[in-house]
Amino acid sequence: MPKTGCPYGTHRVLSPHGVLPQPAWKLDNTMTLYDNEILLDVERLNIDSASFTEIKSRAHREEAAIRTIMLDLVKERGKHHNPNTGSGGMFVGVVRAIGDKLIGKIDLKPGDRVASLVSLSLTPLVIEEIIAVHMNIDQVEIKGQAILFESGIYAKLPDDMPESLALAVLDVAGAPAQAAKLVRPGDKVLVIGGGGKSGLLCLHEAKKRAGITGQVISLNPSAAGCERVRSRNLADTVIQADATNALQVMEAVSLATAGQMCDLVINCVNIQGTEMSSILATRHRGTVYFFSMATSFTAAALGAEGVGKDITMLIGNGYTTDHAAIALNTLRENPVLRELFEATYVK
pLDDT, mean of residues 192-205: 94
Choose the final residue of a domain: 157, 182, 199: 157
- Last residue of one domain, picked from the residues 127, 157, 187: 157
Give yes or no: residues 118 and 203 share one domain: no
Residue 291 within a domain? yes
3-state secondary structure 27-80: ECCCCCCCCCCEEEEEEEEEECHHHHHHHHHHCCCCHHHHHHHHHHHHHHHCCC
> pLDDT category, 328, cuts 50, 70, 90?
very high
Confidence check: pLDDT of 251 > 70: yes
Residues 18 and 139 in one domain: yes
Which helix (H) or strand (E) segment holds residue 194: the answer is: none
The answer to whether residue 5 sits within a structural domain is: no
Percent of the chain with pLDDT over 70: 99
pTM of the model: 0.84
**What is the pLDDT confidence band of residue 225, given thresholds at 50, 70 and 90?**
very high
Sign of the torsion formed by the C-alpha atoms of 69, 75, 76 and 81: positive
- Asked if 306 and 183 sit in the same domain, the reply is yes
**Whether residue 268 sits in one domain with residue 305:** yes
Whether 57 and 95 map to the same domain: the answer is yes
User: Do 196 and 334 belong to one domain?
Assistant: yes
Phi and psi for 51 in degrees, rounded to 5?
Answer: -65, -45
User: In which order are the strands placed within the sheet that holds 154-156?
Assistant: 125-134, 139-148, 38-47, 89-98, 113-116, 154-156
pLDDT surpasses 70 at 1: no
Q: For residue range 110-144, list pLDDT tens digits in order.
A: 999 999 999 999 999 999 999 999 998 899 999 99
In 3-state terms, what secondary structure has residue 95?
Answer: strand
Residue 96 has pLDDT above 80, yes or no: yes
Q: What is the pLDDT of residue 35?
A: 95
CATH number of domain containing 332: 3.40.50.720
Same domain assignment for residues 137 and 179: no
Tens of pLDDT, residue by residue over 147-191, are 999 999 999 999 899 888 998 899 889 999 999 999 999 999 999
Residue 163, domain member (yes or no) = no
Asked whether residue 273 is assigned to any structural domain, the reply reads yes
Is the same domain home to 324 and 199? yes
Domain boundary residue among 157, 190, 211?
157
Residues 102 and 203 in one domain: no
Q: Is residue 164 part of a domain?
A: no
Question: How many distinct structural domains can be found in the chain?
Answer: 2
Number of Cβ within a 10 Å radius of residue 151: 12
134 lies in which domain range?
10-157
The CA–CA distances, whole Å, from 272 to 30, 103, 125, 276 equal 35, 43, 27, 11
Per-residue pLDDT for 2 more than 80? no
pLDDT digits (tens, 9 = 90+) for 267-322: 999 889 999 999 999 999 999 999 987 889 899 999 999 999 999 999 988 788 89
> Both 212 and 289 in a single domain?
yes
234 in any annotated domain = yes
Q: Do 140 and 254 reside in the same domain of the chain?
A: no
Question: Does 228 share its domain with 123?
Answer: no
Contacts of 216 (CB under 8 A, 6+ apart): 189, 191, 203, 206, 207, 210, 235, 236, 237
- Which helix (H) or strand (E) is 93 found in, with range? strand 89-98
Q: Is residue 166 in some structural domain? A: no
Give the pLDDT of residue 346.
83
Region 198-217: what's the mean pLDDT? 96
- Which residues are within 8 A (CB) of 121 and not within 5 positions of it... i.e. 6 or more apart? 22, 79, 80, 81, 82, 86, 87, 88
Residue 152 neighbours by CB under 8 Å, 6+ apart: 9, 38, 116, 117, 118, 123
Classify residue 193: in a domain, yes or no. Answer: yes
